Amino acid sequence: MTITFSAPMQDVGLSDLTLTRNNGPNLIDGSFSLTTSNNTLFTLTVPAAVTTPGGTYEFKIPDKKCDLLHQLRRISSGIMNCDAFP
């Protein structure tokens, strides 16, 4: 999964992200990886076993991070859902 910001973002890590199935607990754990070479384009590697079960998956950046991103207007694209966005 690719996440793109319009400006470099510092201190974005796995703890800033959630992936849930059927409104369950956060599935992101140590088997995931988040990499970037420029703090603008991030790649989230999701283990295949995590998304093999059927269901409804939701990827989010929690509100505390979304509030900051919304204020800075730095999100340009990506596959994400921020509850804090109007």
Position 55 in a domain = yes
How many domains does the chain divide into?
Answer: 1
Position 84 in a domain = no
C-beta separation of 21 from 53 below 8 A: yes
CA 66, 10, 38, 51 torsion-angle sign: negative
Q: What percent of the chain has pLDDT over 70?
A: 71
Which residue segment(s) compose the domain that 70 sits in?
2-78
Position 19 in a domain = yes
Say yes or no to pLDDT of 35 above 50: yes
Position 8 in a domain = yes
Position 43 in a domain = yes
Amino acid sitting at position 8: P
pTM for the model = 0.69
Average pLDDT in the chain = 77
**15-33 confidence digits (pLDDT tens):** 888 899 999 999 999 999 9
Residues in a beta bridge with 71: none
Position 86 in a domain = no
**50-72 confidence digits (pLDDT tens):** 988 989 888 887 655 555 555 45
pLDDT band at 75 (very low <50, low <70, confident <90, very high): very low
C-beta separation of 27 from 20 below 8 A: yes
Position 83 in a domain = no
